[in-house]
Structure 1
Amino acid sequence: MTGNRPRAPHRSTAQRRGDMLREVLAGNGDIAELAARFEVSVSTVRRDLQQLAEDGHIHRTYGGAVAGEHTVERTLDQKESGNRVQKEAIAQLAAAWVADGDVVLIDAGTTTGRLARHLRSRDGLTVITNSTTALRHLADAPGVELIVLGGRVRRPNGAILGPAGEDMLRRITPDRVFLGADGVHARDGLSCPSLEQAHAKELMARRGREVCVLADATKLGTSPFPYHALPERPWTLLTDAGADPGAVRAFTATELCTVVTA
């Protein structure tokens, strides 16, 4: 007999990890308390916390996890290893929004990189990018006119940044802009590891006729870095089906953001 205590509604692993991340960021990172809160085993909590730590959202401690003052920036390979299924679903959804003949601007990032890979077989497409990952996927795509924004390659995220690229951005008006993010906050916008990158993202958002941010559910409501890019015009957040409904409401309440789940 389980008694009269109501059971928590079933949630996917991605949804649970997103909720667990918010608990840790709020200061509730004890393993035993998290296990009781989510009605899962301690070993499941440990696995969830370890994945969140590998994704760069939190720091593991002996008895649980804490939110670091600022997250250490991870390499592209480290980012690529997390939430693969969710990123792939978001990238496929984003690719479906692109029509042959479009002029598309693709930002640096792992999910945006997956989007670039899905556009390899398109015809009559123009892609402008500051992403070394997108460049690698599209350099030999016969139906894609590829334009690379100028500047220096920033490590570890493979973004090409600098005044030359910004000067090029001011001369284009893409049909669609697809931005990546390390975290997305309803109030502050896209969390960025450097002020230079935050400025570049805001400029990209201003140039596009449509602006989409690609971010899996674990990034919603988080700001792992102290710099932010906030779109000043209506934009769309493309995320996965594991997105917490409360987090989604926070974005739609801003009236500038529309949320679409893959």
Structure 2
Amino acid sequence: MQKRTQRQREIVARLRGGAALSVTGLAAELDVSDETIRRELRALEEQGAIIREHGGARLAASAFEGPLAQRMEQNADAKLRIARAAADFVSDGAILFIDSGTTSCFIARQLVERRGLTVITNSLQVASELGSINDNRLFLAAGQMDYGYLAFSDHDAQRYVAGFTPHLAILSVGAIHLEQGLMDFHPGEAAMSRIAYETSEKVLLGADSSKFGRHGLMRTAALEEVDILVTEAPLTADYAQAFAHAEVVVA
């Protein structure tokens, strides 16, 4: 049983990139038979972790995102590099909206030396990083808290955030797709992103390379709506062309 549990964890880990993988490919990577992989996929499907497709499987949308503390550990080095580069776009006295994504939380940590910021956020993590220091003003959206995100993104929180017009929105994203654009996995967070794109003078998107080519659950904005893209790896030719309108920083 322990071997089966470990094998299932390895299958899920390989699916976290967002792409569907074939039974044959998984069998080769894990050095087991195709039938063994099919058996494990059936078990994972019953648990709701994956969705089986013809000849393979992909991770269920709900399995892409975990609790905040867990997600903060994923690609942490890349997110830190992105955060340090993104902080250069924030001056003392700026009016910011910062969402509750993990990359945005990393960026908030890099702003603790800035003074006189006005910070609008739906994230308790961001609020704890930037509230009550350096003469900052903090406006925290409230409503029903999502404990997985340590954030507020229900209709009350959305209405509150929609009343502001920040100089810069600092946003994260669940997935970036050439055809579908910017995508997310959480309905409330997706709605928050849409509001930020509509109300902010500029949008800075922090996205590590694992987000590119990934498919999310719902669309939040077109790629053309990003003004500044900060990532940690060079873009492929297709994505470089898609973001040619934006200022692209590779940290």
User: Which residue of 188, 193, 206 maps to 1:201?
Assistant: 193
Match 1:30 to one of 25, 37, 50: 25
Query: 1:92, 1:145 → 2: CA distance?
Result: 22
Pair 1:109-2:101 in alignment: yes
Query: Counterpart of 2:242?
Result: 251
SS of the aligned residue for 1:114 comes to: helix
The answer for the alignment partner of 2:250 in structure 1 is: 261
- Distance in 2 between the 1:164 and 1:68 partners? 31
For structure 1, which segment, 141-150 or 93-102, has the greater mean C-alpha deviation from structure 2 after superposition?
A: 141-150
SS of match in other structure, 2:152: strand
What stretches of structure 2 of length at least 5 have no aligned partner?
Answer: 1-15, 31-48, 51-55
TM-score scaled by length of structure 1: 0.70
Query: How far off is 1:228 after superposition?
Result: 1.9
User: Is 1:228 the counterpart of 2:243 in the alignment?
Assistant: no
Q: Secondary structure at the match of 1:30?
A: helix
Q: Is the 8 A contact 1:122 1:143 kept in 2?
A: no
5 Å-filtered alignment, 1:1-262, equals 21=17, 24-25=19-20, 27=22, 30=25, 66-72=57-63, 73-223=65-215, 225-231=216-222, 233-241=225-233, 243-246=234-237, 248-249=239-240, 251-252=242-243, 257-262=246-251
* Matched positions, count: 214
Query: 5+ unaligned residues in a row in structure 1: which ranges?
Result: 1-19, 36-57, 60-64
The CA deviation at 1:198 is: 1.5
Please tell me whether the aligned partners of residues 248 and 259 of structure 1 are also in contact (alpha carbons under 8 angstroms). no
- The answer on whether the counterparts of 1:120 and 1:138 sit within 8 Å (CA) in structure 2 is yes
The Cα of 1:248 is off from its aligned counterpart by 2.7
Identical aligned residues as a percent: 25
The 2-side partners of 1:190 and 1:128 are apart by 22
Q: CA deviation at 1:26?
A: 6.5
Letter aligned with residue 260 of structure 1: V
Runs of 4+ in 1 over 4 A off after TM superposition: 26-29, 31-35, 255-258
For 1:116, the aligned partner's letter is A
Secondary structure at the aligned position of 1:104 is classed as strand
